[in-house]
């Protein structure tokens, strides 16, 4: 057992966690970062690389300002959005782009010296910069290492302790050696990303997931267990993937002009949205679900009409998100120039319901603070989610705010040895259950329940069944077994995935309307109902499930139905 | 096995695949011995190990489920609801 003293503990070493560490170190706080990964350069969702970033560069065009983008946020989020923290995010974008460039991230195209920008996801301008992101995470990790933050790799944060209504430390273990660390901290930043492995996919392999399968809602579940508020949990998201491999990558294909066609050879996207294949992600996936349910499957992605230089660019960037994707195409014998390839919809992820700016997760305010004093959250685990730039801006803010809190209000609580020992026992219990339930079997049950009874065609009956079955599984948590410390990690992940699944089902049952296409579609309430449901659903855990509350939407600085900018 | 290691090409002393694997799947506790694929069913098939191996000793092998998926897409969309055939109305 080791006890480590720090001012700010950052749980999660992805983009948000790294920028939190940098922000807190700039304020001269002592900082420790824990992550399950083996190398900070490769921790987080974009461990394998990234190919685009949402940016406001203030580079000349009318749309290239925070104000212009902010005006369109309500429309882009179907009006369910918390504008105050979104303002922190969007107004922070230009400065963060320059900060990341100073760290050495090459956003400019080396052949032109300019940003290669394009319009995608229904955004009202060419907000995305295409870039070679293979060095993105290594560059910001270098900045973290240079800042002298303490880094603890292959370590999983499982729980934090609260005394006098604020966190005083957290329990962490090493996933290979089983060493137990107790971090005494004055403030905590949660930044463990989104939740995956929640439902089934086309390969049937749980870890073949669109987003990083090792992101398992650790922060959301940990925070919920201590009474932190979570919001927007009913909105789930998915993407279009080549059938058989749950990989992003079709984003850049459609961004550059690829079409979707159905079994009849019809290009159908324009029936669903004027922006066609450049519509928001949730509209794209919804159209494919609708076409499939209308017996128009198989659905294909067609690149044959694209000019040779664009196709060349596509093939170069295809493997940036997941380096194995070009090989998968090759082994299947697919040549993008000659034939369309079959696509379907991925498993779903609890992240941001397919739209930028509104996260499904821990409720934060404009300073990234949660309802627990001294507890902050950033990135895809909280209610403001916006890709790597959202994680960077909000992570940086969280680090600064946590350092401020630690300096002003942080207490160094002297915890009794037996309190820490009790914590250790709670964490390691599965190691004593030699004949218990394997975390894989447990998780498979969660995925089947979520697929069948939450799914894309939600009804009260089905959601009640889901909640009942998920709670029955909660009662089996104490029976989970771990044969080594790696499996102990999978046990805690499985517990967290189940917890998030229960939150998704509970919020989905509450929202008795449909909104955001299939990100929340209630077959028993198929219409959008602004009169009753233009509000956020907020959850708070209690002994037998979750209490539901609402938060009204304030849209002072933005028009509700912003006019759609010209879409090419 | 999702990851094949070519023992002839694999360099002793290097542990990059072990460190780069985001899932704690590949173990090379003794850098003189061949890396072990310890938790193969937890592989993301991200390809980081293959991409960053300095001697091209690592190869990702896609299983049949990924190359020739037989899953009916409809089965992934949930049990059909009773008494309704609605689809989301256009936003």
DSSP A385-423: --HHHHHHHHHHHHHHHHHHHHHHT-------HHHHHHH
Q: Is the pTM of this model over 0.90?
A: yes
C-beta atoms of B78 and A452 within 8 A: yes
Interface of A with B in 292-331 (CB under 8 A): 292-294, 297, 319, 322-325, 327-328, 331
Average pLDDT over residues A483-512: 98
Write out the DSSP string of B25-53. -EE-SSTTSPPEE--GGG-----HHHHH-
Give CA torsion, residues A98, A102, A104, A108, to 10 deg: 40
Numbered ranges of CATH 3.90.700.10 in chain A: 241-345
Q: pLDDT value at position A315? A: 74
Question: For residue B43, what are the contacts with CB-CB under 8 A and spacing of at least 6?
Answer: A207, B2, B3, B23, B25, B37
pLDDT digits (tens, 9 = 90+) for A298-324: 999 999 999 988 888 777 777 766 778
Q: Give backbone dihedrals phi and psi of A397, rounded to 5 degrees, phi first.
A: -60, -45
C-beta atoms of A204 and B38 within 8 A: no
Mean residue pLDDT of chain A comes to: 92
pLDDT digits (tens, 9 = 90+) for A135-156: 899 999 999 999 999 999 999 9
Average pLDDT over residues A333-340: 89
Nearest by CB to A323, from B47, B69, B71: name it.
B47
Q: Which residues of B touch A490 (CB under 8 A)?
A: 42
- With contact defined as beta carbons under 8 Å apart, do A382 and A228 qualify? no
Q: Regarding the domain delimited by A427-535, which CATH topology (the fold level of the hierarchy) does it fall under?
A: Methane Monooxygenase Hydroxylase; Chain G, domain 1 (1.20.58)
B87 shares contact with chain A (CB less than 8 Å)? yes
pLDDT at B89 over 80: no
> Could you give all domains of chain B from N- to C-terminal order, each with its CATH number?
3-60 (3.30.70.20)
Average pLDDT over residues B6-24: 96
C-beta atoms of A203 and B24 within 8 A: no
Task: Give the Å distances, CA to CA, from A517 to A170, A287, A312, A538.
Answer: 39, 9, 33, 21
Q: Which residues of B touch A464 (CB under 8 A)?
A: none
Nearest by CB to B22, from A37, A457, A489: name it.
A37
Residue A436's pLDDT band (boundaries 50, 70, 90)? very high
Residue A259's pLDDT band (boundaries 50, 70, 90)? very high
- Segment (H or E) for A342: strand A341-345
Average pLDDT over residues A412-436: 90
B64 shares contact with chain A (CB less than 8 Å)? no
C-beta atoms of B47 and A327 within 8 A: yes
B88 shares contact with chain A (CB less than 8 Å)? yes
Closest C-alpha among A282, A279, A281, A277 to residue A267: A277
Q: pLDDT value at position A335? A: 87
Closest C-alpha among A494, A490, A481, A479 to residue A434: A481
Numbered ranges of CATH 1.20.58.100 in chain A: 427-535
pLDDT digits (tens, 9 = 90+) for A531-564: 999 999 999 999 889 999 999 998 755 444 443 3
- Residue in chain A nearest B23 by alpha carbon: A214
A30 vs A284: which has the higher pLDDT: A30
> CATH number of the domain at A241-345, out of 3.40.50.300, 3.90.700.10, 2.60.40.1150, 3.40.50.620?
3.90.700.10
């Amino acid at each position: 057992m080791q006890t480590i003293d720090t001012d700010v503990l950052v749980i999660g070493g992805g983009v948000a966690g790294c920028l939190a560490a940098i922000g807190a170190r700039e304020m001269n706080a002592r900082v420790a970062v824990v992550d399950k990964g083996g190398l900070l350069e490769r921790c987080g969702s974009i461990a394998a690389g990234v190919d685009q970033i949402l940016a406001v560069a203030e580079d000349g065009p009318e749309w290239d300002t925070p104000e212009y983008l902010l005006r369109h946020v309500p429309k882009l989020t179907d009006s369910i959005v918390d504008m105050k923290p979104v303002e922190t995010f969007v107004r922070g974008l230009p400065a963060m782009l320059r900060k990341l460039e100073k760290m050495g991230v090459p956003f400019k195209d080396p052949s032109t010296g300019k940003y290669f920008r394009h319009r995608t996801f229904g955004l009202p301008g060419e907000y995305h910069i295409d870039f070679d992101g293979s060095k993105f995470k290594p560059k910001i990790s270098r900045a973290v290492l240079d800042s002298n933050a303490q880094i603890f790799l292959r370590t999983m944060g499982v729980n934090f302790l609260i005394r006098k209504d604020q966190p005083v430390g957290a329990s962490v273990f090493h996933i290979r050696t089983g060493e137990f660390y107790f971090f005494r901290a004055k403030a905590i930043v949660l930044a463990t990303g989104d939740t995956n492995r929640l439902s089934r996919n086309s390969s049937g392999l749980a870890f073949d997931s669109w987003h990083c399968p090792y992101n398992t809602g650790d922060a959301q579940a940990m925070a919920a267990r201590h009474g932190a508020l979570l919001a927007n949990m009913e909105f789930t998201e998915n993407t279009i993937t080549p059938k058989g491999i749950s990989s992003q990558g079709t984003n850049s294909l459609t961004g550059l002009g690829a079409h979707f066609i159905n079994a009849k050879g019809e290009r159908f996207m324009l029936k669903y949205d004027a922006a066609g294949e450049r519509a928001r992600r949730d509209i794209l996936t919804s159209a494919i679900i609708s076409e499939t349910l209308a017996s128009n499957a198989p659905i294909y992605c067609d690149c044959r009409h694209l000019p040779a230089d664009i196709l060349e660019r596509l093939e170069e960037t295809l493997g940036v998100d997941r380096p194995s994707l070009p090989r998968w195409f090759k082994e299947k014998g697919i040549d993008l120039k000659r034939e369309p390839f079959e696509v379907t919809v991925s498993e779903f992820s609890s992240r941001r319901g397919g739209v930028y700016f509104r996260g499904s997760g821990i409720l934060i305010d404009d300073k990234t603070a949660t309802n627990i004093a001294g507890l902050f959250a950033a990135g895809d685990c909280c209610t403001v989610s916006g890709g790597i730039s959202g994680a960077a801006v909000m992570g940086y803010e969280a680090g600064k705010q946590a350092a401020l809190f630690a300096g002003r209000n942080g207490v160094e609580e002297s915890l009794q040895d037996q309190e820490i020992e009790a914590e250790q026992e709670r964490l390691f219990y599965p190691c004593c259950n030699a004949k218990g339930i394997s975390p894989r079997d447990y998780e498979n049950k969660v995925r089947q329940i979520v697929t069948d009874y939450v799914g894309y065609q939600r009804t009260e009956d089905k959601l009640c069944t889901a909640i009942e079955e998920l709670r029955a599984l909660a009662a089996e948590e104490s029976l989970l077994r771990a044969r080594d410390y790696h499996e102990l990690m999978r046990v805690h992940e499985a517990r967290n995935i189940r917890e998030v699944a229960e939150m998704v089902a509970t919020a989905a049952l509450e929202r008795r309307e449909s909104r955001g296409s299939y990100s929340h579609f209630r077959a028993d309430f198929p219409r959008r109902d602004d009169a009753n449901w233009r509000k956020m659903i907020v959850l708070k855990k209690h002994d037998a499930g979750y209490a539901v509350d609402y938060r009204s939407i304030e849209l002072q600085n933005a028009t509700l139905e912003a006019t759609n900018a010209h879409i090419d | 096995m999702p990851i094949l290691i070519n023992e002839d090409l694999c360099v002793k002393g290097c542990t990059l695949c072990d460190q780069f694997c985001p899932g704690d799947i590949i173990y090379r506790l003794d850098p003189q011995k061949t890396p072990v694929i310890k938790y193969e069913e937890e592989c993301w098939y991200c390809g980081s190990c293959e991409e960053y191996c300095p001697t091209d000793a690592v190869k990702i092998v896609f299983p049949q489920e990924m190359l020739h998926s037989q899953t009916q897409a409809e089965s992934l969309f949930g049990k059909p609801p009773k008494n309704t055939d609605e689809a989301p109305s256009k936003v």
